[in-house]
Amino acid sequence: MSFYISGTGSSVPKKVITNFDLMNFLETDDEWISSRTGIRERRVLTDEKLLDLACEAAQNAIFDAHIKADEIDMIICSSLVGDYISPAMSCLIRDKIGSKSKFVFDINMACSGFIYAMDLASVYFDSGRVSKVLIICAESLSRLVDWQDRASCVLFGDGAGAVVLEKGNGLIAVCNKSQANAEILNVPGVRGNNPFSKADDYKSQLTMDGQEVFMFAVSSIIDEINSILENNALSSEDISLFILHQANIRIINTARKKLKQPEIKFPHNIEKYGNTSSASIPILLDELNKEGKLKLNDKLIFCAFGAGLTTGTCIIEWKKKK
């Protein structure tokens, strides 16, 4: 016995940055951005802390699961960069929400972090060490992008999504893969002021080869979804919704067409939030849950791809009761 998703939650910053706002300091326009990415606006941290978003998303998921924070056995937080390099954000979340979890830790698997976190949680469920797990994906890409690079800064936004997992039979399969390729997508580490360092000067900002990422994403989605379906004696027709990482609407649409599935089975919210890295799937999942679009026993596929390069694919059966 592994787990099922018993609660979902999300939180985004209050500041909305539209494509028209970006035109004030970038040589770009709404049509150029939206036609290439599907993004119309994104949310960006201003006076909030990422920890605040993470805790609000966590509390919303706990409320939705009809449990209390002190019932949670483990907290996993996925994030590229928190308010601190140390301590881990999971430690701060535990105290702020009033949890007594013994197992808390952060992971950094970029945009695939949500799937990796569920895979890790499944091991603890299978070993009998936990009965309730809280996963939070909290991302602040606005801190990492180069706001003078119109090719990349227009893509990203900030936000947090969370789920509560409980003992049950909702997990059908999960598969994560990785390969070493830092060239096409990376964020260099913090340099500091080490007087002995001979490293070249650089900024800790995201760099990306958009075309290479696009090709990797589409091929990975198709290969990993077809593989996990075949390995579990399922077909695309058995899946109610394909909930993909919200990186680019063209990636989503290209994958959908290659899988020969209708638009209605590929929900998206990238137009509102941009790419929120590992938070994108749980934020979208929370919206679908709150809007009543997830039915009991629906089979869902989650699929993500990101820096590493990494991929994560998961099939779950929706077992949450209203």
* Catalytic annotation, residues: 111, 245, 275
Q: φ, ψ for residue 298 (rounded to 5)? A: -60, 140
Beta bridge partners of 183: none
Q: Is 235 exposed, middle or buried (0-12, 13-18, 19+ CB in 10 A)?
A: exposed
CA distance linking residue 19 with residue 31, whole number of Å: 9
Contact partners, residue 189, CB within 8 Å, separation at least 6: 204
Q: φ, ψ for residue 158 (rounded to 5)? A: -110, 155
Q: 186: part of which helix (H) or strand (E)?
A: strand 185-186
CB 176 within 8 A of CB 115: yes
